[in-house]
Structure 1
Amino acid sequence: MEVTGIISGLIIGIVIGVLGRLVIPGRQRIPIWLTIVIGVVAALIGTAIAAALGVADTRGVDWVELGIQVALAALGVSLTAGLYGRRRD
């Protein structure tokens, strides 16, 4: 994998993680690095799911793939915030 691929993957992961965090109401008390990790993982899994469903390569913006990725990130942030909050109390 090239450096540009890694950098673009991190940028996409940041965007997906932040979007997933914005979808959830209230404040999530998890560090930003954890949001980025969740976003990267959600982007990878979301791309795999979109490819399995046959919606990964469409003309224009892949809205379905993006929706899957953001939904997975929101789920990941929600679960992690719940577990992280309990651990810290």
Structure 2
Amino acid sequence: MGILGWIVLGFVVGALVKLVVPGDDPGGVVVTGLLGIVGALLGGLVGRTLFGTGLGDFFDLRTWVLPFVGSVILLGFYRLVARRRART
């Protein structure tokens, strides 16, 4: 998959994660897209390292599940950091 495919996949997965995971997030469309892109990379890396599976074609299920899980983890971490900054 090319870099443009990763960007599109990241934005789509980031939007899906925002819809699925409830709660108020301090970020707009740009932050959602960035979280999705970084989450896609994180999910691909974790999937390759732990399970020995890489990302397949654009329409392969692994290509969507691994970035989704990575984005959910990244969104949870982002919420923790944003809440701590808001308190101080």
**So what's the TM-score if we normalise by structure 2?**
0.69
Residue pair 1:55, 1:62 contacting (<8 A) in 2 also: no
The residue number in structure 2 matching 1:32 is 29
Moved over 4 A (4+): 57-61
How many residues are paired up? 86
Cα RMSD, aligned residues only: 2.8
Distance 1:60 1:5 in 2: 10
Residue 84 (structure 1) aligns with: 82
List gaps (5 residues or longer) in structure 2. Answer: none
Gaps of 5+ in 1: none
**Structure-2 change in CA distance of 1:30 and 1:86 (3 Å):** farther
The alignment-based identity, stated in percent, is: 23
* Structure-2 residue corresponding to 1:55: 53
- Relative to the length of structure 1, the TM-score reads 0.68
